[in-house]
A and B are shown apart, each in its own frame.
Chain A
C-alpha cells in the first residue's frame, strides 16, 4: 500500500525502517519535517528512538557520533547552513570513522526560499571524503536512506544524504518495505579508532585516503547511478538528484532521445562519464545548487567547451532548476515568462498579528530617533523580519549568533549605541559563547533577547532557552543590576523604552530579556510557560 509522504517524511520512514536508534537535529527549513515525523511516529516511540531537539547542529552531530560509538544506528539532520556549525565534528568523524551506522542528512535550499545562501553540501561531502547520496524522488528518499545505513556500516564511515527544498517539501506515493532490527550496544573493535591524537589520527586519515578507490567502485556499481541509452549523441546528459525529474518532464512518456547518466551517488562514477565523453558531441550537466559536477569534469582553462551547464551560462548560475530552464538549455522553443500583470504586488513574509517582536521593534525605533548613531545587529529567526518594512529596525543579519559578537566588534570600533537583538533559541544555539566574550571585556553593548519561548520560524518547536535564560545570563556573569526583563506589549511601550535607554546609557554590558510567548503556541504550552515567566531576577 502506497503512503503519500513528503520527501522529508519518506526519508524519516526509511531511517526508522533501517533500524535507527536516535535522530539528533536542530530545526531549520527545509529539513525540519524529518525529525518531526520521527517525533510523531508511533513505531518510533515503541522502538524508543531518541528524537528530541538538540541545542544546535554541532551538539546534534556529536551526540549522534556518541550513539554510533556505542554501536547503535544514529542520524543527524540539519539545513545546509547548519553543517557550517557542525563542520568541526563532521570533518573529524570521517577520519575516526563510525561504529554503528551514522547518516548525516543535509537539506540544501537552492533559490534561498528560507535561507541566507545557497551553499551546496556536496562540497562538504567531498571535503570529508565520504559517500554522498542524492535522492531524485520520494521513493528514493525512502530507499536511499535504508541503503545509506547499510553503506555506512559497510565502509565504517558516515554517509551524507543531500536533499533540496523541492524534494523535501513535495509529496508522492511511497512504498515502504521491511523494518531492519536496531543494533544492540557494542563498542568499537579497535580501541584507538576514536582517539584522534595526531599519532592515531595519521593512521586513520591514511586509512580514509586508502579506501577512496573502494568508495569509488561502490559508486560506479551503485543502482542509484544509472545509464540510459539514447540514439541522439549530439548531447549526452548528466542529471543529478531532482534534476533528473525536471529533465524527463520535457519528454512525452519519458522518452528522451539523448543518452542520460542519472547520478544519485558520489564520488562521481568515472566509467559512465567517460562513456558519455567518448560517444557524445557535448555534455550537458543538470544539477540543483552549485556547478559541482560541471566543475569537476570541465576543462580548467575553458578551451574545450564540450561541457555545458551553469558555468557555461546555458543554465542560470544562480537559483534552482525547473523544467523550464532545462527546456531552454535543451534548445526547446519555450519562452520563460516572468511578467506578471501590473496589479500584482510583492507580498513578503511578516510578523504575525499580535507578535511580541513587533512591540520590541516599536520601542527600538523610538530610541533610533533619539540617537542617529544607533546600530542594531540582528539574528536568524522570526526576529529577522525586523529588517523589513514597517520596522526596518535591524542593520545586519548574517548567521546564527552573529548579532552579539558583531555588536561587540562594532562597539570595539567606536559605535555607540550598539544593540544586539537575538531570539531565545538562537541565543542558546550560538549566542551564549559570544556573550561570554562580551562579558570578559565588559564591552558597552546592550543585548536584547527577544524571548518568545519557541523556535518560531520553523513551526514553534520547543526552545532550549525556555525557563533558563536568567540563570544562563547570570551564570555567564551578567550583573543583576543590568539584567532586565520587559514584557513587549503596546501598553508597556514607554516603560520598555525607558528600560532599554537606561541600559544603552550604561557603560558596560547589559542584557534585556523581552519576554512574551509566541502567538503560534497552543494555549496549553502558553499556560505552562507562565510557570517561569515573570519570575524575579533576584
Chain B
C-alpha cells in the first residue's frame, strides 16, 4: 500500500464533488490516516468552476493545497473541468471523468476536441457515468460511479469505501444507501474493464 495519495476533485458548483470528498475523508479517518481536504465555498459555487484538494497519508500532512505536478489523479464530474487542473497532475497520473458536458457558457469547446485532449493522456478513464447512474435508477449517483471508477487506484479498501458510503447516506434511508453502493461497484467494474 502506498503511504500517501493526492487527489483533485473537479466540477461545476452544485455537481456534488464535496460528497466524493466526504466519502474519501470518512474512509480515511476510519483507517486512522491523516487527511487534509480543501474546498471552495462562496461565489464560485454559483455555477462556476469548483475544486477540492484531497490529501490522505499515513504521515502528517502540511499543505492544504497540493503542489503542482503532485496530484496522483484528477476525478472530475465534467470533462472540461478535468483539464483545468492539469498543471497539478503528476507525470503519468490518472484522469478520471464523466463524459457529459455541463454547458453553461457560450464558448464551450467542441466535445470531440475535448475528448481528444483527454485521450492524449496515457492514463485516462473517460466514461458516461451519468448514463450508468441512470441505468441503475439513480441519476444523482454520477459522482459515486466516478469514485467507484477511481477506487482501485486509491489506497483504501473497498470495505472502507462502502462503510463510508453507508455512513454518509444513512439518513436518506436504506434504499439510497443500496443504490449508491451499487453505483460505486458498477463504476469500479467498468473501470476495471477499461484499464485491463
Residues of A within 8 A of B (CB): 2, 4, 29-30, 32-33, 113-114, 166-167, 169-173, 242, 244-250, 253-254, 322-324, 327, 334, 336-341, 343-352, 382, 385, 389, 457-459
Which among A2, A250, A323 has the greatest number of chain B C-beta atoms within 10 A? A323
B182 at the interface (CB under 8 A from A): no
Interface size on B, residues (CB 8 A): 48
Instruction: Name the interface residues of B78-127: CB closer than 8 Å to any CB of A.
Output: 80-81, 83-84, 86-87, 104-110, 113-114, 117
CB-CB under 8 A for A30 and B42, given A4-B25, A341-B117, A350-B104: yes
Bound together, the chains give a CA A352 to CA B14 distance in angstroms of 10
Q: Are B65 and A166 in contact (CB under 8 A)?
A: yes
Q: Are A322 and B42 in contact (CB under 8 A)?
A: no
CB-CB under 8 A for A343 and B109, given A169-B40, A170-B38, A457-B42: yes
Q: Are A246 and B39 in contact (CB under 8 A)?
A: no
Chain A proximity mask over B1-45: 1 for CB below 8 Å, otherwise 0: 000000000001100000000000110010000111111111111
Q: Given A172-B36, A345-B80, A347-B80, 4 other A-B contacts at CB below 8 A?
A: A4-B35, A167-B64, A343-B80, A344-B84
Q: Are B86 and A340 in contact (CB under 8 A)?
A: yes
Q: Are B48 and A350 in contact (CB under 8 A)?
A: yes
Bound together, the chains give a CA A201 to CA B53 distance in angstroms of 49
CB-CB under 8 A for A4 and B29, given A166-B38, A171-B35, A172-B35: yes
Q: Are B47 and A350 in contact (CB under 8 A)?
A: yes
Give every chain B residue within 8 A of A170 (Cβ-Cβ).
36-39, 53, 64
Bound together, the chains give a CA A247 to CA B62 distance in angstroms of 8
24 CB contacts below 8 A, A to B, read A4-B35, A4-B37, A113-B43, A166-B65, A170-B37, A171-B37, A172-B34, A172-B37, A322-B63, A334-B68, A337-B68, A340-B83, A341-B86, A341-B117, A345-B80, A345-B105, A345-B108, A346-B105, A347-B12, A347-B47, A347-B49, A347-B80, A350-B47, A350-B104
B173 at the interface (CB under 8 A from A): no
Contact of A249 among B26, B40, B62, B117 (CB under 8 A): B62
Bound together, the chains give a CA A253 to CA B34 distance in angstroms of 14
Contact of B46 among A242, A340, A351 (CB under 8 A): A351
CB-CB under 8 A for A457 and B43, given A323-B63, A337-B68, A347-B81: yes
Q: Nearest-CB distance from A113 to chain B (Å)?
A: 6
Q: Are A169 and B46 in contact (CB under 8 A)?
A: no
Bound together, the chains give a CA A350 to CA B47 distance in angstroms of 5
Q: Are B36 and A29 in contact (CB under 8 A)?
A: no
Give every chain B residue within 8 A of A172 (Cβ-Cβ).
34-37, 61, 64
CB-CB under 8 A for A249 and B48, given A113-B42, A344-B83: no
Q: Are A322 and B46 in contact (CB under 8 A)?
A: no
Q: Are A347 and B105 in contact (CB under 8 A)?
A: yes
CB-CB under 8 A for A349 and B48, given A172-B36, A246-B65: yes
Q: Are B41 and A30 in contact (CB under 8 A)?
A: yes
Bound together, the chains give a CA A459 to CA B42 distance in angstroms of 8
Give every chain B residue within 8 A of A334 (Cβ-Cβ).
68-69
Q: Ordered nearest first, which 4 A-B pairs have the shortest CB separation?
A: A29-B42, A114-B42, A349-B48, A249-B63
Q: Are B29 and A338 in contact (CB under 8 A)?
A: no
Bound together, the chains give a CA A30 to CA B81 distance in angstroms of 23
Give every chain B residue within 8 A of A382 (Cβ-Cβ).
46
Bound together, the chains give a CA A490 to CA B80 distance in angstroms of 32
Bound together, the chains give a CA A385 to CA B60 distance in angstroms of 40
Bound together, the chains give a CA A244 to CA B61 distance in angstroms of 12
Q: Are A322 and B117 in contact (CB under 8 A)?
A: no
